[in-house]
């Protein structure tokens, strides 16, 4: 009850102050003209509610083109497509690994086990290398994509959830509503953007896939995938990926996680933690949208 009253007082105070500030700004504008003409705030960000962006969020669905087997023991954290193979980062302590997988059969052509004290997370391909991040260990091992031998390791601060490479920079999630941009050669942060859906920040951003100038992101503990404009942080589309598994399969599986893009035919491969299936899909508009 105390918290409710305190919140009510704070909101009332904020409304009053907003009114006073609005009057002051109105007077200033009447004397000095619009901000744009004065150049006072040339880079002021525009709110989604002021630009009508809320109405432009697309609603997409999953169209399944093919279904493949997937290792139901794999705790999928990151997924990358390259030259006919899937490279998969699997998590959990004492079970984390990097796998090179034949997608049509679900069989692993090669497996690299990680230190049992490491909880593996997202995976990104940069040239001839794979960069794998870790949950709390703040380590990012780098592998040769041909041999899967480790050739380097980066250090970073904070948690690691998802990562992808857009051809110029790495994009990384940490479970919050922020995406952090990193230099692919040094792993140093170069910028950050807050992800917004219809005026609200969306946290628990998880596995990422860079496709052109867009970023696709799983939202942890949901069946939703977001298509994000990393330049502004605005969510341009939401994808409903519910119903891919049967009720019986869902009982043994964990959450949706894992997005890989195949540029050869413009399709996606998606799966989840402990899922028995991998799906080749497209994302058309939802019915009625």
Please state the rounded mean pLDDT for residues 189-215.
Answer: 97
The rounded percent of the chain whose pLDDT value lies above 70 is 80
Q: How far apart are CA 195 and CA 197, in angstroms?
A: 7
Q: How far apart are CA 13 and CA 75, in angstroms?
A: 48
Model confidence over 212-261: pLDDT tens digits? Answer: 999 999 999 999 999 999 999 999 999 999 999 999 999 999 999 999 99
Q: Which helix (H) or strand (E) holds 35?
A: helix 35-38
Q: DSSP letter at 254?
A: -
Alpha helices in the chain (DSSP H): 2-32, 35-38, 48-51, 247-252
Residue 142: strand pairing partners: 131, 152
Contacts of 1 (CB under 8 A, 6+ apart): none
Phi–psi pair at 210, nearest 5 degrees: -90, 125
Residue 271 — very low, low, confident or very high, per pLDDT cuts 50/70/90? very high
Written as six digits, the tokens of 94 are 């004492």
- Output the pLDDT for position 154: 98
Phi–psi pair at 261, nearest 5 degrees: -110, 130
Of 56, 79, 22, 31, whose CA–CA distance to 280 is shortest? 79
Please state the rounded mean pLDDT for residues 22-31.
Answer: 37
Q: Is 156 helix (H, G, I), strand (E, B) or coil?
A: coil
Q: How far apart are CA 176 and CA 178, in angstroms?
A: 5
Q: Is the pLDDT of residue 21 over 60?
A: no
Q: For residue 127, what are the CA distances in angstroms to 151, 213, 219? A: 14, 18, 27
Of 77, 48, 111, 94, whose CA–CA distance to 275 is shortest? 77
* Distance between first and last Cα of the chain: 42
The total number of residues shown for the chain amounts to 289
Look at the domain 53-282 and name its fold: Methylamine Dehydrogenase; Chain H (2.130.10)
Q: For residue 8, what are the CA distances in angstroms to 21, 136, 261? A: 20, 38, 48
Q: Cα torsion at 280, 103, 130, 237 (round to 10°)?
A: 10
Q: pTM of the full predicted structure? A: 0.81
Model confidence over 52-70: pLDDT tens digits? Answer: 445 589 999 999 999 999 9
Q: Is 117 helix (H, G, I), strand (E, B) or coil?
A: coil
Q: How far apart are CA 94 and CA 96, in angstroms?
A: 6
């Amino acid at each position: 009850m105390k918290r409710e009253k305190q919140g009510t007082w704070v909101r009332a105070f904020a409304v009053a102050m907003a009114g006073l500030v609005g009057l002051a700004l109105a007077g200033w504008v009447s004397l000095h003209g619009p901000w744009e003409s004065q150049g006072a705030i040339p880079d002021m960000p525009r709110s989604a509610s002021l630009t009508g962006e809320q109405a432009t969020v697309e609603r997409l669905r999953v169209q399944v083109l093919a279904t493949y087997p997937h290792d139901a023991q794999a705790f999928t954290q990151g997924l990358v497509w390259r030259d006919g193979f899937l490279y998969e980062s699997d998590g959990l302590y004492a079970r984390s690994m990097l796998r090179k997988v034949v997608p049509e059969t679900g069989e692993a052509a090669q497996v690299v086990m990680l230190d049992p004290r490491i909880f593996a997370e997202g995976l990104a391909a940069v040239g001839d290398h794979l960069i794998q991040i870790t949950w709390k260990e703040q380590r990012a091992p780098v592998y040769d994509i041909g041999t899967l031998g480790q050739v380097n390791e980066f250090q970073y601060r904070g948690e690691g959830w998802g990562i992808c490479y857009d051809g110029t920079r790495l994009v990384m999630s940490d479970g919050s509503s922020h995406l952090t941009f990193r230099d692919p050669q040094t792993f140093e942060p170069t910028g950050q953007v807050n992800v917004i859906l219809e005026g609200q920040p969306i946290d628990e951003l998880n596995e990422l896939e860079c496709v052109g100038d867009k970023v696709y992101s799983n939202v942890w503990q949901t069946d939703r995938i977001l298509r994000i404009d990393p330049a502004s942080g605005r969510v341009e589309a939401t994808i409903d990926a519910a119903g891919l598994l049967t009720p019986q399969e869902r009982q043994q599986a964990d959450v949706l996680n894992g997005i890989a893009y195949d540029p050869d035919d413009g399709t996606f491969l998606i799966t989840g933690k402990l899922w028995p299936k991998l799906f080749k899909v497209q994302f058309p508009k939802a019915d009625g949208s």
